[in-house]
Amino acid sequence: MAGRKEQVEDLHGAGSISGKLGKERTLSDHAYEKILAMISSGETPVGAKLPTEHEMSDLLEVSRPVLRQALKQLREDGVVVSRQGSGSFVQRRPETALLSFAPVGSIADIQRTFEFRAAIEGEAAYLAAERRTEADFAKLAAHFKELDRCIREGELGVDADEAFHQAICVASGNQYFTTARTSMQSNILTGLNLTRNLSLSKPRARMELVQQEHLRILEAIENRDKAEARAAMRAHVENAKNRVFEG
């Protein structure tokens, strides 16, 4: 009985730790977004030093550990840079439209979703180049043509973009790629909506650049060039992640 009680206590303890980490992540994501707002508004311009950790903690009403996690994410996303002994400095200024298009509290999650996608979809593209059937490729080419139409007619094209990427997972011949992607579909669609809205607000050349990345993936899969398909997909998803913060 004693052993069983200890196991129950361990499970409760693990749940408490998990809940605490989830809460801290939520707080750090909100702090991350507040700092982004300061930068995108021009309140803290490119090249400027961010306030000290003590000042930022008070300003954002968060603990130092939460603030440090937010700053860590901003460094990983190339928005701020740390200089030894000098503090954190603004490296890039995202445009204000970013905060208009993205749901509140979602930007940090969107960026992490792109990291997940680069890994998963890169491997899916690799296998699709090896295993795709003629029917698989015909569907992929049809989705690509639909994306072309969306660009010509100035449409957002989120559904066509999503269909293109899902078709690659199907063509891999491994259902777990599709399952993994489906489990995160809400996050993925949020990211697609954000990046395509941002691109649509730019000159048409921006959308055409994205479509060139899709073409590189398509041609690699057509040519059964596995390494190129993987590299093209990873580059495309990582570029999408970086485009979120192009000001």
- 54-106 per-position pLDDT tens digit: 999 999 999 999 999 999 999 998 899 999 888 999 999 888 888 888 887 78
pLDDT number for residue 6: 38
Give strand ranges (E) for the chain.
80-83, 87-90
Give the residue extent of every domain in the chain: 2-93, 98-243
Please give the full DSSP string across 120-168, using - where no structure is assigned.
HHHHHHHHHHHH--HHHHHHHHHHHHHHHHHHHTT---HHHHHHHHHHH
At 93-142, the pLDDT tens digits run 888 888 888 887 789 889 999 999 999 999 999 999 999 999 999 999 99
Q: pTM, whole model, 2 decimals? A: 0.80
Q: Which fold has domain 2-93?
A: Arc Repressor Mutant, subunit A (1.10.10)
Say whether pLDDT at 194 is over 80.
Answer: yes
Classified as helix, coil or strand, 190 is helix
Q: Which fold has domain 98-243?
A: Four Helix Bundle (Hemerythrin (Met), subunit A) (1.20.120)
Query: What percent of the chain stands above pLDDT 90?
Result: 70
Residue for token pair 């930022």? 56
Say whether pLDDT at 47 is over 90.
Answer: yes
Say whether pLDDT at 1 is over 70.
Answer: no
User: CA distances (Å), 25 to each of 33, 46, 52, 66, 182, in order?
Assistant: 12, 26, 21, 8, 23
Cα separation, 21 vs 40, in Å, equals 28
Handedness of CA 170, 190, 101, 72 (dihedral sign): negative
To 10 degrees, what angle do helices 2-40 and 53-60 make? Answer: 100
